[in-house]
Amino acid sequence: MPFTGYWHAAGRIPRHGLNGGMDWMLASRDCGAGVLAAIALLAAWLPSSAAQATPLPDQVRCESSDARRVHCPMDTSRGVLLVRQLSGTACIRESDWGVDSAGVWGARGCRAQFRAPPAATAVTRQVVRCESRGARVESCPVMLRGAPVRLLRELSRAPCRRGESWDLGRNEILVSRGCKGEFEIGDAEAGFPAGPRLLTCESRDRKRRSCGTTVGQGVSMVKQLSGSPCEYGRNWGWDAGRVWVADGCRAQFAVE
């Protein structure tokens, strides 16, 4: 038997001829009204997507208990600043805390307050993350077309040095020797966005640490995070490819 549910729902069966055309229009109108009623009922039953999409906070208190790793959702699209350390143990970026696209994570007993930079001071940067696994050379394709590239932040314990463990191809970033980093792509004509970039560099257990980044004009300390003083030339400094700290100095630096 052929399927006739459509016509039963419409309430009329079309006839041939002039009057049949009118009956067809009435059937279509009745069927359309039924479909609209079903859609309205379904919309009332389903929760709205606007109600489901809750915006992420721009500041959060994230606490690692018993040295366990914890994840705290927040808006990281403009970057993240550690504004207040609450734990007695150190909070060192990429070791005790870090950032992903969905929030902040903490580990090793780090407890702190984090927030996003104010929107008025946020700078849009094109950033590519490129990682080398072991001694192999890894290629990260990116459309350059003459655009400048600089190391924004070193993520590995192995150093990222241009010409040694990272460099550029025609339309690619090349990394090797365990270098993992975030690289900023500038504009082919305008160069990089104006203004300093914030970099956190921290000496753990009073050991010397190097934080790789491309330095163009200079580095200044904007906020000391450690209890022991950070003195330029004694326990912190910089060169063209890095900021270094030692003897327990932990601070945020403005890199230009």
What element of type H or E holds 219? strand 219-224
The overall average pLDDT reported for the chain is: 81
- Cβ count near 173 (within 10 Å): 22
* pLDDT number for residue 173: 96
Three-class secondary structure of residue 3 per DSSP: coil
Q: Which of 150, 121, 185, 115 is nearest to 255 (CA)?
A: 150
d(CA 19, CA 17) in angstroms, rounded, equals: 6
Q: What is the DSSP string of 22-90?
A: HHHHHHHHHHHHHHHHHHHHHHHHSPPHHHH-PPPPSEEEEE--TT--EEEE---TT--EEEEE-SSS-
Answer positive or negative: Cα dihedral of 98, 104, 108, 113: positive
d(CA 137, CA 130) in angstroms, rounded, equals: 11
Cβ pair 220, 178 in contact under 8 A: no
How large is the average pLDDT for residues 212-233?
A: 91
Cβ pair 250, 96 in contact under 8 A: no
For 87-96, 192-201, 202-211, which range has the lowest pLDDT when averaged over its residues? 87-96
Please tell me the pTM assigned to this model. 0.57
- Cβ count near 241 (within 10 Å): 19
d(CA 87, CA 111) in angstroms, rounded, equals: 5
Whether pLDDT at 18 is above 70: no
Task: Summarize pLDDT for 30-88 with one digit per residue, the tens.
Answer: 545 555 555 555 555 455 444 456 888 989 999 998 889 999 999 988 888 888 888 88
Tokens of 93: 């970026």
Of the pLDDT bands very low, low, confident and very high (cuts 50, 70, 90), residue 183 is very high
Cβ pair 50, 93 in contact under 8 A: no
* pLDDT number for residue 53: 61
Give 136's contacts (C-beta < 8 A, 6+ positions apart): 176
Tokens of 122: 């946020």
Q: What is the DSSP string of 133-200?
A: -TTS-EEEE---TT--EEEEEE-SSS---BTTTEEE-SSEEEE-TT-EEEEEE-BTTTBSPSS-EEEE
* pLDDT number for residue 181: 93
- Direct distance between the N- and C-terminal alpha carbons of the chain, in angstroms, rounded to an integer: 79
Report which DSSP code applies to 232.
Answer: B
Q: Which of 100, 107, 118, 117 is nearest to 62 (CA)?
A: 107
Whether pLDDT at 116 is above 90: no
